[in-house]
Copies of this chain bind each other. A is one copy, B any other.
Amino acid sequence: MTVERSTPRTPAENAQLALLLEVTGTPKPGNVDRERDLDELRFEHFLAGAVGANRGLRRAASGAPVGVAFERAIEGMSHQSGGNTQFGCLLLLVPLVRAAAAGTLSPDGVTEVVESTTVADAADFYRAFEHVAVAVADPPEDLADLDVRRGSDAIPALRDRETTLYDVMAASEGDGNAEEWTGGFSRTFDAAETILADDGPVPDRVARAFVDLLAEGEDTLVRTNHGPEVAAEVRRRADAARGDPEKVAELAAAFVDEGINPGTTADIVCAATFVALERGVSV
């Protein structure tokens, strides 16, 4: 089934715009946004990252393998001094762009893309970790040889085990982005509908959708960096603040003070923004 597109931009352009709108939407408590930098990670690092990522996104749109397109996007993203800006966003965007370019941007369509990934895609995914330092959880003990932080050193193990990129995601239990990959991008498509149904400037819609997502599910990056109790508490605090701009602004200040960075939720809202742009939300 082909999905109707109603946007003046190509899928790669909408993906780049989604990267830029994600970092612009404010307040997104705990994240860099139009009004807030973190210590070593500033707004302009995201701009340069989004510019550099474009080459990989265009590869995805022209049908390159998911792994190749992702690794190129991360390589391009890495040419700035802030470190990792939008690795997780790109992990979600690349298969979505491929599906959009093929006219199949739907839960089924993107699932077909991710289920078709190969061992070569997994190898390129691991290579991407050599371009930037990414915060990830420790893998289960029996998968220690597949720790993504090993970068391309892990590739022989991937080949031995015949592990595809989809398999890598399926083994990443409890990771919010991996759950999108293996669960039909359900939170992404739901949040896209929220953004489409909302009104006002798109960055404001993105910021509201971010708080909704954070209120509805624990953030993986917070859990990785601070443990499950803090992640549960962050979710509760977002739930208590949602819908009240003053409380959300307080949360934004508090999370930065506490060093809490709900980055996985930002990844999902970025992917949702892409879907909303493809479905015609107007900037």
Q: Using a CB–CB distance below 8 Å, which chain A residues touch chain B?
A: 8-9, 13, 16-17, 20-21, 24, 34-35, 42-45, 47-48, 50-52, 54-55, 79-81, 201-203, 282-283
Contact = CB atoms under 8 A, between A and B. Distances in A.
12 contacts: A8-B52, A9-B48, A13-B51, A13-B54, A21-B47, A24-B47, A44-B203, A44-B283, A45-B283, A47-B283, A81-B282, A81-B283
Nearest to A48: B283
B79 A8 contact: yes
B43 A203 contact: yes
Nearest to A42: B201
A21 B43 CA distance: 10
A21 B283 CA distance: 19
A47 B282 CA distance: 13
Given A44-B203, A201-B42, A20 B51 contact: yes
Given A20-B47, A42-B201, 15 more contacts: A8-B79, A13-B51, A13-B54, A13-B55, A17-B51, A20-B51, A21-B47, A24-B43, A24-B44, A34-B34, A34-B43, A35-B35, A45-B283, A48-B283, A81-B283
A141 to B, nearest CB: 38
Contacts of A51: 9, 13, 16-17, 20
